[in-house]
Structure 1
Amino acid sequence: MPSTRFSPAQYSHVKHPQWSRDAAIYQVNTRHFSAEGDFKGVQRDLPRIKSLGVDIIWLMPIHPIGEVARKGTLGSPYAVKDYLAINPEFGSHEDLHSLIAAVHDLDMKVIIDWVANHSAWDNPLTQSHPQWYARNHRGEFRPSPWWDWSDIIEFDYSHADLREYMIEAMCYWVDEFDIDGFRCDVAGYVPNDFWRQARTELEKLKPVFMLAEWEARDMHEYAFDMTYAWSWNEIMHGIAHGKLSLDKLRKYYSWNERAWPKQAYRMTFVSNNDKNAWDGTQFEQFGDCLDNAIVLSSLGEGMPLIHNGQEAGESKRLQFFECDPIEWQAHYIGDLYRQLLDLRKRFTALHNGEFGATMLQVNTDHADKVFAFVRRNGEHAVLVILNFTDMMLKVEMQADLIAGDWQEQFLLSATHQSGAGQLCKIDQPMSLDAWKARVFIQQTPWV
């Protein structure tokens, strides 16, 4: 009888909420989302967000913003003045209750941004508990954690009573408003054992979903369902601008498969609040490669994020410290996301983490120009081929992974192509348009 004495324990001890297995996430900056810049403006548009295939609404910080050392006119939402209050610009307690109830009525979940690492200079905790704050070499409050973050000061998590306060504050929002979890700002600058403590207490109230704004595998051990795939975004950006080779992308997926727990969710994103505000719109970031980036973020390993406004063509860099409403319009990118998220839900091989299938690389005769992979389980297979050049290619692929009959899913684009093709074999050289992807489905995959 084989010994189990040295059997390794499961690396990740986090139990994901069942509803997260095929989920996609949508980031809401309440200030920018509507002309009113409030919760009601978000609530009014929930059915449209739902229609994209979104399951999780992430609300950026909802708390009052500090006035001391404020940046711009309205300040940064990450300069929290009161962890137990609501920014009056966004509405009342009743307005937030109404928004969360409407999210739940549409069978979606809502997480809120939690800023545990630092607060505003004029947070009352600076007076009631000044010992909770980190100090610089002169004994003064320390701006955190970057030298240009002058509007916030850092906490010192060596204090047990600070941890207790912060966890009780998090529990308040779950208990009082029935939120479903947290996106945790600069989570790696807060001790990981604090997040473990927090999740343990939160789970006593309800199953929660925890997203870390960080990229480290140990965050998944006890506390977090999902971490940011920052390196995925950086590699895709480098490829789009001709600075990195496709081998960098292959190394990312090898690293993701071998060095990270299979249970870990990685958030793959084309844009977010930081990228849009400081680095540029999705068009500035990816240019002709944008559609490929969206396809790969949605069909490759990882949970896709939609940053509010992407689906409307994200026409500008939103001013982070000002009121700068999104310019909403119908756009093919919204239709593309809608199609891709529908595929993710219909085909279980595309699900998140351990619920989905690993990506199997399909070798081609254009390894420096084409990235191709299959994700398959006992029910079906999904084949994705992406051309990362500005020329049309004829591509021959690895035979054993593409055997059998496939049905192409014609991707929506600026030309609004849609629909599915007839069953076909793809064992002959295939045409790939410049900067385009082709996606095929096999209902009973060949083994």
Structure 2
Amino acid sequence: MKKIILIFAVFIAFVACKNENKETETVTVIPEGNVLAPMSNDVMETAVIYEANIRQYSAEGTFTEFTKDIPQLKQLGVKVIWLMPVFPISETKRKATGGADSKFASEFPEEEQAKYLGSYYAVTDFTKINPEFGTKDDFRTLVKTAHDNGIYVILDWVPNHTGWDHEWLKTNPEYYTQNDKGEVIHPEGTDWTDVADLNYDNQEMRNEMIEDMSYWITEEGVDGFRCDVAGSVPLDFWQQAVPALRAQKDIFMLAEAWEPELLKGDLFDMAYAWDGHHLMNALAKGEKSLEDYNAYLEKISKDYEADDILMNFVTNHDENSWNGTIKERMGDAAELMTALTFTMKGMPLIYSGQEYDLSHRLKFFEKDSISHNKGRTFEILEKLGKLKNTNPALNGGKNPASYTPLESEKDILMFERSKDGNTILFVGNFSEESNKVLIPNGTYIDYLADKKNEANDDAVSIQAWDFKILIKQ
């Protein structure tokens, strides 16, 4: 029988209804030295988040290989590691290809089937570890190493569906959406045929979902969740689940969604800046202008509350695998757009391989890997991360630095961010032509060049798709 989880002053106990075939382990005692101060608003102000694709991060594709590089992530200003799903993947209806013409692994010759590892998002059991990545002890070592380096760990949670091998399909088919014939179906309106759609009208399923999430907080020491397609799950589930989880520990909650209502009250801390991402792609291709960028900022200021956080990104696992590398989508503007994600309001994301100039689309259902050759991007990200961590003028959390747009020449974006007596000036050339920019009078440190500059009504040259970050003295 599952244990009862006590939710102090918020929810009464969730009582398990049945015996389940879960790992029979004693409660993990987090070792001394693995204690990290709880997630706080201060951390969110200065954080960089890193999406870890364990399968593709190394040739081995293991927790152990990734763990070795955690101290290096600290160099990049990373304060939150988001682990893509770490759970076992269903074999039934395991996908081998994606898109409208997707195929299952079983459709290929038997000798080829083993190479198709399936989607991380087709979960077999929410409390076990994918043996492809290692053991639960390897996972615990990863979490401990992150905590020892002052970095929080959040799990990619998949609340909308499960893989077709999940035990609930055998024991509790009522947990799933069914058609008129009583057959469990995949999520309607999608090509996600490798997963079964969960039925949120069923309260027992909700309780079990919260219980499984709680396991990772109370027994494995994780610091929160990135929730897959959070907007496709009923809002009232999050209103039920998130307070229950927060009652156990101060956690960080990221919604893979844009809906402002998910950030209301004490629900999710951060949502995706999807519109901002698509806009950056369009700006890089010359399909949108800075007028569109200003309109975007005006729109989000109306749609979201002042303490809502948006995650800014130039790539992630979906964008890289399905829509192209940063270079494919952004070309010569890639570095400028990356700098913008660090200097605008919100929290910047680094995706596995981005720091190493990832130049190919990572396979989604098969083994692949990234190179680990440090180049210019690692250097830029390290400098941007340090500035984000240390200068209040780039605070982007629940109490962000102010944002003041400044008038400038056509195709030039210039703005100031200020907080607690600190001011940073960002200047970016969003065009294929070099330009001259009149910088407001004052004394500045050109951050990337590490030079002191005096601006006295002199026009400064700025190359195509180039940018400057000036720290006001």
Letter in 1 for 2:219: E
Q: Note if 1:107 corresponds to 2:150.
A: yes
| In 2: Cα distance, 1:370 partner to 1:359 partner | 16
Assess if the C-alpha contact under 8 Å between 2:346 and 2:397 holds in 1.
yes
The one-letter amino acid paired with 1:425 is A
**In structure 1, the residue corresponding to 2:219 is in which secondary structure?**
helix
Match of 1:27 in 2: 51
2:152 and 2:222 in contact (8 A); partners too = yes
- Tell me the equivalent position of 2:213: 170
Structure 1 ranges of 4+ moved more than 6 A: none
- TM-score w.r.t. structure 2 length? 0.85
Query: Is 1:427 matched with 2:457?
Result: yes
Asked whether 1:54 is paired with 2:92, we answer no
Tell whether 2:429 aligns with 1:391: no
1:200 Cα deviation after fit:
1.1
- AA at the equivalent of 1:386: G
- Partner secondary structure for residue 405 of structure 1: strand
Equivalent position SS for 1:372: strand
Task: Determine if contact 2:46/2:397 at 8 Å carries over to the other structure.
Answer: no
Determine if contact 2:55/2:62 at 8 Å carries over to the other structure: yes
- Structure 2 counterpart of 1:439: 469
Q: Does 1:247 align with 2:291?
A: yes
1:237 lines up with 2:281 in the alignment: yes
1:268 aligns with 2:315: no
Kindly report which structure 2 residues correspond to 1:23-422, keeping only aligned pairs within 5 A, or say none: 23-72=47-96, 73-221=116-264, 222-366=266-410, 369-396=411-438, 402-410=440-448, 418=449, 420-422=450-452
Contact 2:79 2:151 in 1 (8 A): yes
Per-residue deviation, 1:425 = 2.0
Q: Secondary structure at the match of 1:441?
A: strand
Provide the alpha-carbon RMSD of the alignment.
1.4
Letter in 1 for 2:452: Q
Q: Which runs of 5+ in 1 are unaligned?
A: 1-14, 411-417
**For structure 1, which segment, 44-53 or 292-301, has the greater mean C-alpha deviation from structure 2 after superposition?**
44-53
Alignment CA distance shift 1:426-1:279 (3 Å): farther
CA drift of 1:245 comes to 1.6
The share of aligned pairs that are identical, in percent, is 37
Give the Cα–Cα distance (whole angstroms) in 2 for the partners of residues 313 and 89 of structure 1: 26
- Which sits farther off after the overlay, 28-37 or 349-358? 349-358
Number of residue-to-residue matches in the alignment: 415
Is the 8 Å Cα contact of residues 257 and 358 (structure 1) preserved in structure 2?
no
**Aligned-pair distance for 1:241?**
0.9
Instruction: State the one-letter code of the partner of 2:163.
Output: A
Q: Please, which moves more after superposition, 18-27 or 298-307?
A: 18-27
Aligned-pair CA distance for 1:362: 0.7
Partners of 1:426 and 1:384 in 2: CA distance? 17
**Distance apart, 1:427 and its partner CA:** 2.9
Choose 244-253 or 52-61, whichever is displaced more. Answer: 244-253
Alpha-carbon distance in structure 2 between the residues aligned to 1:85 and 1:234: 35
With the length of structure 1 as denominator, give the TM-score of the two structures: 0.90
CA distance in 1, matches of 2:328, 2:146: 32
Q: Deviations over 1:304-361 (max 9, x none)?
A: 0000000100121000001101121111111101111111122102112333213211
- 1:11 matched residue in structure 2: none
- Maintained 8 Å contact 2:44/2:398: no
1:17/1:207 contact within 8 Å kept: no
| Aligned partner of residue 442 in structure 2, secondary structure | coil
